[in-house]
Amino acid sequence: MGAAGLHCRAAALGGRLARAESGDRRQIASLWESGYLGTRFLGAHIESDFRNSKVVTQSDMKVELLPALTDNYMYLLIDEETKEAAIVDPVQPQKVVDAVKKHGVKLTTVLTTHHHWDHAGGNEKLVKLVSGLKVYGGDSRVGALTQKVSHLMTFKVGSLNVKCLYTPCHTSGHICYLVMKPNSSEPPAVFTGDTLFVAGCGKFFEGTAEEMYKALIEILGKLPPETRVYCGHEYTINNLKFARHVEPHNSAIKEKLAWAKEQYDRGVPTIPSTIAEEFTFNPFMRVREKCVQQHAGESDAIATMGAIRREKDNFKVPRD
């Protein structure tokens, strides 16, 4: 099978993994750990993944973007003061262990955004590879969970403050993690899983348009504008093509799309964005704008959220 065929089968499998019932996920996880799935379906694509890792360095924290599977990201979060680290959604545990060794840090914490296999599927293996890990998540379906969290619960990774933001919709237990250092002039970071993407949002598998509106506008949208957004997937180009369809005259969308294509061609991730940026080109964060409501044929922001999500679910992405 050629690379294109492997890519298609991997993408299809990834979708089935995310939607699998708990018993199916356990079987899939067993096959993955045995190497069967990696060899048969995903291995060739993973090893030749076009995306390079990327490190975002601030004086208070460092974040390494670790590409995983076909389009996922894991994030190694490092407290620069104590060299303590957390990993967000470690679906490929060995990559995590290798990154931890490279940076010479102590991994203490797993931050799980939601229970879907392509985010939480590596937890069980990672806790076997690294002893004493604290595994946080907002859903009892999260593998190897040691601490179930709730909205606005806080804890520390080294000297960094982590605040849990409950954002149900994509899944009923979805959590975003806001990270900042007290009294720091550096921008906060928010790890949004499959709630907020660059120029998009997650499908409403277990929630409603009202819940996604609250998550994007009333919770994430109220964060400091400079907050850096680290999302769960590299969907940026396709999301921006849909955004262009919704707002064909929006110059911010056109500029971001041209930039994202350049990044893609260089193998560089398009993440992070910022909360301020998202309000300029993300149609799901622009549902209060009249032009977006007019496109949706609605006059209410929540109804617009539902309408454009349904439209995007059936959107055929142009090849340009």
Catalytic residue IDs: 114, 116, 118-119, 170, 194, 233
The tokens 């995306």 sit on which residue?
Answer: 51
Angle at 150 between CA 142 and CA 280, to 5 degrees: 95
For the chain, how many residues are written? 320
Non-local (6+) Cβ contacts of 303 within 8 A are 209, 296
Instruction: Indicate the DSSP class of residue 297.
Output: T
What region, left, alpha or beta, does residue 139 occupy, with left being phi > 0 and alpha being psi -120 to 50 degrees? beta
Amino acid at 297: G
In the chain, beta strands by DSSP E: 54-57, 61-68, 72-79, 84-88, 106-111, 134-137, 147-148, 154-157, 160-166, 175-180, 189-193, 196-197, 200-201, 228-231, 273-274
Helix 251-265 and helix 236-246, axial crossing angle in degrees, nearest 10: 160
Angle at 271 between CA 54 and CA 320, to 5 degrees: 115
In whole angstroms, give the CA distance from residue 135 to residue 123: 8
140: closest CA among 152, 129, 132, 148?
A: 148
In whole angstroms, give the CA distance from residue 289 to residue 118: 33
Whole-Å CA distances, 199 to 6, 263, 279, 283: 27, 15, 9, 7
CB atoms within 10 A of CB 143: 22
The terminus-to-terminus CA distance of the chain in angstroms comes to 26
